[in-house]
A = this chain, B = another copy of it.
Amino acid sequence: MKLASPEQAEAAFYSALDKADLAAMMAVWAEDEDIVCIHPGGPRLIGMDAVRESWRRIFAPGPHMGFQLLDVRVHGGRMLSVHNLYERITIGGQPKAHLALATNVYLLTPSGWRMLMHHASPLPPDTPGPDMPIGTLH
C-alpha cells in the first residue's frame, strides 16, 4: 500500500500497533539502513533487523495496547515531515492510561511516505496531559 501523506503513514503506524500486526508495522518503515526506533525508556535501535525484532517481541502477546494521539504538532517539508505528539496508551483494557511523548519523522520515498524515525519517551504518571488531565478522556 502506497501511503500518500505523512498523515496516512502515521495512521498506518498506530493501526499496526493497535493490531499488533508485524507485517503492517514493517510496511510503514522506510527501507533505509539508518531507520531509528526508540521505544519508551529503551535503547536506540538502528536498521530494519533491530527494529523488526523489537516489534516482534512487543507484538508477541497479540493485540493488547490501545493508542490515542493528542495534540499532534506537524512541521512538514517536501521530503521530510516531523510530528510531535502525545500518545495516550491503554494496556490490556485497563482503565489507567499511560502518557508518552513521541517524535515521528516521515520520509517521502518512491514507495510513498514512510517512517524514518520513532522516538518515544514516557512521561511521569502525574504529568498533566495536553488538554485535560489523564483519565478524563472518553
Taking Cβ atoms with an 8 Å cutoff, the residues of A that contact B are 34, 36, 38, 41, 43-44, 46, 73, 75, 77-80, 82, 84, 86, 101, 103, 105, 107, 116-117, 119, 121, 123-124, 127-128, 130
Contacts and interface: CB of A to CB of B under 8 A. Distances in A.
Contacts of A79: 77-78
Contacts of A103: 103, 105, 117, 119
Give the number of copies in the complex: 2
A101 B80 CA distance: 21
A122 B75 CA distance: 24
Contacts of A73: 34, 36, 46
Given A34-B73, A75-B107, A107-B75, A117 B44 contact: no
A119 B44 CA distance: 14
A35 to B, nearest CB: 10
B101 A38 contact: yes
Contacts of A80: 75, 77, 80, 82
Given A38-B101, A78-B78, A107-B75, A84 B43 contact: no
Contact of A36 (B34, B44, B46, B84): B84
A115 to B, nearest CB: 12
Q: Which of A36, A79, A84, A116 counts the most B-chain CB atoms under 10 A from its CB? A: A84
